[in-house]
C-alpha cells in the first residue's frame, strides 16, 4: 500500500537534518521507509515524531514531524506530497 505524506512546513535542524512537518494522508509511514517527492527526488525517513514523542511509525490522519535524508530543503515545498512504498 502506498503511503502519502502531505508537507506543511520544512526546516533544517543543525546536527539532525531536514525536518518535514505534515500529515500522513494515507497508509502507514515507517521509520526507514523510502519515498519520492513530487519532483521525483528519492528520500528516506530516519526519524518520526508524533505529538512530540519519537515513534517508529505514523498512521493515516496523524500529524507528524519526520526527519529525511537524501533531499535538501529546496527539493520539497509546503503543499508537496511525498509518496512512500
The pLDDT averaged over each successive group of 10 residues in the chain (85 residues) is 93 92 97 94 96 95 97 94 93
Phi, psi (5° rounding) for residue 17?
Answer: 120, -155
DSSP, res 15 = T
The answer to pTM > 0.85 is yes
Residue range of the domain that includes 19: 3-84
pLDDT for res 1: 63
Domain count, the chain: 1
Per-residue model confidence (pLDDT) at position 41? 94
Torsional sign, CA 44, 38, 48, 61: negative
CATH value at residue 66: 2.40.30.10
Residue in 62, 3, 7 with CA at minimum distance from that of residue 27:
3
Amino acid at each position: 500500500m502506498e503511503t502519502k505524506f502531505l508537507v506543511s512546513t520544512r526546516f533544517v535542524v543543525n546536527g539532525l537534518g531536514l525536518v518535514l512537518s505534515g500529515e500522513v494522508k494515507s497508509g502507514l509511514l515507517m521509520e526507514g521507509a523510502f519515498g519520492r517527492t513530487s519532483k521525483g527526488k528519492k528520500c528516506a525517513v530516519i526519524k518520526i515524531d508524533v505529538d512530540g514523542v519519537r515513534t517508529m511509525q505514523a498512521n493515516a490522519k496523524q500529524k507528524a514531524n519526520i526527519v529525511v535524508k537524501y533531499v535538501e530543503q529546496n527539493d520539497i515545498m509546503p503543499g508537496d506530497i511525498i509518496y512512500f512504498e
